[in-house]
Copies of this chain bind each other. A is one copy, B any other.
């Protein structure tokens, strides 16, 4: 094993000797700058590749101040205002928004580009019935309907890049000028981006890898009048809009968008909304455009014999690494932040790149590296969480961020990261691109399909929300499980294409969301495709509100398949069967108390044959299973991530697939331990996912059993016999 490989080290000034030492101990073969650090001056002396952060669409006020009409834009919805008078209503456009970040665009004709909507009826107010009072920043609506609510959807300029703003405010940067974002859709900006990149490449000969952070459009991040976050959507296309983009869209797609196509009742098309056809078209248009523009920048980088790497975050909108245009960019590498297994897979599974890199946690920042704290604890937990996924689909490289001088003050941490980097390299080299053995193939449905691979249920990157954690556990569990995971759209399920290769189909999420499916379930074709699939032997796993859409006497449209439905009050007169929970079942045996997170109330069996595994005193169901033709279904009220729930999900999937017999093949009896098999390499790996020693029986491919004890966090490789 080459010790000096696969690791990127952040560096800083006046830290040269220590950098060399850390590079040697951690085997770093690349160094990078990062926000708030500068590269060491003697950089060229180091035996390493050099990454340098590059901002495409901001950091050049000297340019954009001469072209303020090329600032980035966004559609904003004003506050909802109720008309309490009889005649007119005045709406203050910027009420509730941060005036340092945003300002209305009065340049482009409001009558053409804005929309006043009666939110009580949903109707657009004719443009003759309102006027803009620019001096006061208000819109005055005439002929109002008393006690209806109105909003104005208006185009605004973004005066301050939100990440720059966030750092500025958080770090109290005082009178440092605000980075104004400029828009690649505009001629001067586009030219500047290319010219400046060429200049920069010439000026930075020591740079081997241009680390784009990222390209053109930041995910939607809007601040309120108190300079606090008001709206955040890591997937949001809000800041991609402009009159130019809207005109180009019309040209490309043959129809014009309305402001409401982007404002979406103030929900702004978050990933939880079942996307409209228009919004999908818009994503398609923008991502094709972004990928082409990015391609041109990458080409310039390549012309200079450097590599192009993109950061998965910040201005990543439109790149869509799992979309159909990403390949065109010709990107060499993607780097992203790894908090757990699912975020690792989100990066490591990206196609059409030469290599992927994870930035691991913790950051070398004072919030972790302070006297009295042991940063090894977090580093260990994060590594264990991510390692499960690394064993299934490895990142090619890893790295850290922050101030290495801080980390250097914690010798135990330096020791521990030496172990981690060694182990990381060892995993990548041992697996060596081979396919680990899978027990089954699982499809997860959503309205987004593969475009949101490993990105379901996410609001802001890796942040906890009460409404998502009970579903995110599915992805996190799967990220390190011996299963093949496909992200499929409802349309693909309807067409039936994807079902042939699946053992089990998962439908998870809160009702009416893009993940549960909402109005998708009104389609008979979707229902029948899944019924046929299950009836002929497939497995169906529903979590939360699977197939929820109230119509035709069912809340869960696949209640017949699931054997349960949600009681919404309409069938209280119908006595639900009182199926007693079974005492023992393959799925639950040996798992102890289960945690369904937020869970779901009012789920009841629809017939006497439904097998209840976990139910409440009043007959509500948290975990159940049903037989449907030759197939099976499982209902789960929720699946927050835990080691126990990972084992639960594995058993659920195997049971749904009718493959219980495979459970004890390449299996650890102790749920804290997992086994991964690499047939092409003649190896298998036994991994202890906890920080304490674990004893476990290990079942091999023939069901032979051996009892072993693993050290805390141990990863043990064995040869296949």
- A270 nearest CB neighbor, chain B only: B573
Complex interface residues of chain A between 74 and 97 (CB less than 8 A to chain B): 80, 82, 84
Hey, which chain B residues are within 8 Å of A171, CB to CB? none
Q: For the complex formed, measure the closest distance between the CB of A247 and the CB atoms of chain B, giving whole angstroms.
A: 27
Of A14-22, A143-151, A179-187, A251-259, the one touching chain B? A143-151
A-side interface residues, number (CB < 8 Å): 66
Q: Are B510 and A568 in contact (CB under 8 A)?
A: yes
Hey, which chain B residues are within 8 Å of A550, CB to CB? 512
Indicate whether A119 reaches chain B with its CB closer than 8 angstroms. yes
Q: For the complex formed, measure the closest distance between the CB of A608 and the CB atoms of chain B, giving whole angstroms.
A: 9
Hey, which chain B residues are within 8 Å of A535, CB to CB? 84, 147
Q: A80-B553, A560-B149 are in contact. Are A272 and B570 (CB under 8 A)?
A: yes
- A466 nearest CB neighbor, chain B only: B618
Complex interface residues of chain A between 600 and 630 (CB less than 8 A to chain B): 601-602, 618, 620, 629
Q: A80-B553, A602-B467 are in contact. Are A573 and B120 (CB under 8 A)?
A: no
- Residue from A228, A268, A528 having most chain B Cβ neighbours under 10 A: A528
Indicate whether A189 reaches chain B with its CB closer than 8 angstroms. no
- A232 nearest CB neighbor, chain B only: B573
Q: For the complex formed, measure the closest distance between the CB of A84 and the CB atoms of chain B, giving whole angstroms.
A: 6
Indicate whether A372 reaches chain B with its CB closer than 8 angstroms. no
Q: For the complex formed, measure the closest distance between the CB of A240 and the CB atoms of chain B, giving whole angstroms.
A: 16
Q: Please encode chain A, from 575 to 606, with 1 for each CB lying within 8 Å of some chain B CB and 0 for all others.
A: 10000000000000000000000100110000
- A616 nearest CB neighbor, chain B only: B466
Q: For the complex formed, measure the closest distance between the CB of A580 and the CB atoms of chain B, giving whole angstroms.
A: 15
Q: For the complex formed, measure the closest distance between the CB of A267 and the CB atoms of chain B, giving whole angstroms.
A: 4
Q: Are A265 and B573 in contact (CB under 8 A)?
A: no
Indicate whether A370 reaches chain B with its CB closer than 8 angstroms. no
Docked complex Cα distance between A267 and B567 (Å): 11
Q: Are A571 and B267 in contact (CB under 8 A)?
A: yes
Indicate whether A122 reaches chain B with its CB closer than 8 angstroms. yes
Q: A147-B531, A266-B553 are in contact. Are A572 and B119 (CB under 8 A)?
A: no
Complex interface residues of chain A between 101 and 140 (CB less than 8 A to chain B): 119-122
- A80 nearest CB neighbor, chain B only: B560
Indicate whether A551 reaches chain B with its CB closer than 8 angstroms. yes
Indicate whether A3 reaches chain B with its CB closer than 8 angstroms. no
Docked complex Cα distance between A402 and B132 (Å): 77
Q: Please encode chain A, from 548 to 559, with 1 for each CB lying within 8 Å of some chain B CB and 0 for all others.
A: 001111100000
Q: Are B236 and A122 in contact (CB under 8 A)?
A: no
Complex interface residues of chain A between 52 and 82 (CB less than 8 A to chain B): 80, 82
Docked complex Cα distance between A575 and B511 (Å): 21
- A82 nearest CB neighbor, chain B only: B560
Q: Are A267 and B552 in contact (CB under 8 A)?
A: no
Q: Are A572 and B465 in contact (CB under 8 A)?
A: yes
Docked complex Cα distance between A552 and B121 (Å): 8
- Residue from A121, A146, A575 having most chain B Cβ neighbours under 10 A: A575
- A529 nearest CB neighbor, chain B only: B147
Docked complex Cα distance between A84 and B551 (Å): 21
Q: Please encode chain A, from 531 to 552, with 1 for each CB lying within 8 Å of some chain B CB and 0 for all others.
A: 1100100000000000000111
Q: A120-B527, A145-B524, A466-B618 are in contact. Are A236 and B84 (CB under 8 A)?
A: no
Q: Are A270 and B524 in contact (CB under 8 A)?
A: no
Q: Are A232 and B575 in contact (CB under 8 A)?
A: yes
Indicate whether A569 reaches chain B with its CB closer than 8 angstroms. yes
Docked complex Cα distance between A567 and B272 (Å): 12
Hey, which chain B residues are within 8 Å of A173, CB to CB? none
Hey, which chain B residues are within 8 Å of A229, CB to CB? 575
Task: Give 17 pairs: A residue, B residue, CB < 8 Å, sorted on A.
Answer: A84-B535, A146-B528, A149-B560, A228-B575, A231-B573, A231-B574, A236-B573, A267-B573, A268-B573, A270-B570, A270-B572, A466-B618, A511-B568, A512-B569, A513-B569, A513-B570, A598-B601
Known pairs A80-B560, A119-B553, A146-B532; list 5 more (Cβ under 8 Å).
A145-B524, A146-B528, A229-B575, A268-B573, A273-B570
A→B interface (CB under 8 Å)? 80, 82, 84, 119-122, 145-149, 220, 224, 228-233, 236, 265-268, 270, 272-273, 459-460, 465-468, 509-513, 524, 527-528, 531-532, 535, 550-554, 560, 567-575, 598, 601-602, 618, 620, 629
Closest CB pairs A-B (n = 10):
A265-B553, A147-B528, A147-B531, A233-B573, A272-B569, A267-B570, A513-B569, A266-B553, A270-B573, A119-B552
